Structure 1
Amino acid sequence: MHDNTLIPRPSTLDLSEFVTRFGDIYEHSPWVAKLTWERGLQAAQDTSAGLAEAMGRTLREASPERQLEVIRAHPDLAGKAAIAGDLTDDSTREQAGAGLDQCTPEEMARFERLNAAYKEKFGFPFVMAVKGSDRHAILAAFEARLENSQQEERRTAIEQINRIARLRLDDRATNR
């Protein structure tokens, strides 16, 4: 992972500028950026790694209810939103990068079955940082994680969401 400096430096931004620039790092959850800014930003948060750690801590320390809101804000992998073109730009790029836009009809049916079984068991969508992965590895992870307890899986989903956030911040730092 890169440790690139973000420009403009997050510690120099006011709340409004910070939320405008980083409010979308967590899918449909600008409160993570707002609360992170309110906790105070130092020069250590001016890198993608430093800001990812601060924002990740905000989410990890949030109430289970708020964590579930963030998890539920994520789209199904290879789900109806992807097919309909209703994903955020970041999610579209991430899913396409993992080849989820190239699934065979059989793989799509398997994703739909797994998405349904997972939601039935946990009450939220399966979330995975798919960058650098492929649909076969994702399907295997899906099946393995269906064995987790509710608490284990909420923790795993939050870890994966924080990985997604780190990757998104790395992209912003390198693609100025």
Structure 2
Amino acid sequence: MTIASLTEKEVTTIGNLTIEKINQMNKDVFVETLGWIFEHSPWVAQGAWERQPFQSRNHLFQTMLTIVQNAEESLQLALLRAHPDLGTRLKMSDVSQQEQTRVGLDKLSKDEYEEFAALNQRYVTKFGFPFIMAVKGQNKDTILSAMKERVDYSFEAECVTALNEVYKIAGFRLNDMIE
């Protein structure tokens, strides 16, 4: 079995990829293997491939962050819009679904679900992208509290906060994937 033939879910459970293996990948395999790290935004992995070899997982991660940070605002907003709403029953990637399940967002009561849905709608209406939070180490109460606070942020402040959360998510995903 090659890395290229694995599904996103299978890749996330490998955990034994090395930076050496990543540096040996051709562009197609590299993008297929790492393109999902930044939710539905393979352009980040495409840009990173151009900057190899990587000295370490952190070097790869910092390269990917730099690509996003230097991207046009329209690409950054597209990246933010590619993320699913938290605590909803919408279709999302396997990885996002696993991340939300680990913190109990798949087991919300009817009232909790309605509160998350209302806050998500208010948030998306205001900012034009879904509420994004790295949920690892969080629970539904801390997530809900952050939603209530951040929905009142300015657009500029929330874009910075949301991108920082995207970076945390990508970091967690790379740490889970690469030795």
Q: TM-score, normalised by structure 1?
A: 0.87
Aligned residues: 164
Structure 1 residue runs without a partner (length 5+): none
Residues 118-142 of structure 1 show CA distances to partners (whole Å, capped at 9, x for unaligned) of: 0111111001100110000000000
Residue of structure 1 aligned with 2:80, choices 66, 71, 85 = 71
State the alpha-carbon separation in 2 of the partners of residues 103 and 16 from structure 1. 39
Contact 1:10 1:41 in 2 (8 A): no
2:47 maps to: 35
- Secondary structure in structure 2 of the residue aligned to 1:169: helix
Q: Tell me how far 1:147 sits from its aligned partner.
A: 1.8
State the alpha-carbon separation in 1 of the partners of residues 157 and 73 from structure 2. 12
- Which amino acid letter does the alignment assign opposite residue 69 of structure 1? A
- Which amino acid letter does the alignment assign opposite residue 77 of structure 2? L
Contact 2:16 2:177 in 1 (8 A): no
- Which amino acid letter does the alignment assign opposite residue 25 of structure 1? I
Structure 2 residue runs without a partner (length 5+): 1-14
State the alpha-carbon separation in 1 of the partners of residues 96 and 77 from structure 2. 18
Q: Tell me how far 1:11 sits from its aligned partner.
A: 2.4
State the alpha-carbon separation in 1 of the partners of residues 137 and 60 from structure 2. 22
Residue of structure 2 aligned with 1:9, choices 7, 21, 24 = 21
Deviates more, 1:19-28 or 1:5-14: 5-14
Aligned: 1:151 with 2:156? yes
1:87 maps to: 92
CA RMSD of aligned residues (A): 1.6
Q: Tell me how far 1:6 sits from its aligned partner.
A: 3.9
Contact 2:54 2:60 in 1 (8 A): no
Contact 2:48 2:64 in 1 (8 A): yes
The alignment-based identity, stated in percent, is 37
- Which amino acid letter does the alignment assign opposite residue 24 of structure 1? W
Aligned: 1:57 with 2:57? no
Structure 1 residue ranges, 4+ long, deviating more than 3 angstroms after superposition: none
Q: TM-score, normalised by structure 2?
A: 0.86
Residues 61-88 of structure 1 show CA distances to partners (whole Å, capped at 9, x for unaligned) of: 111100000100111001131xxxx221
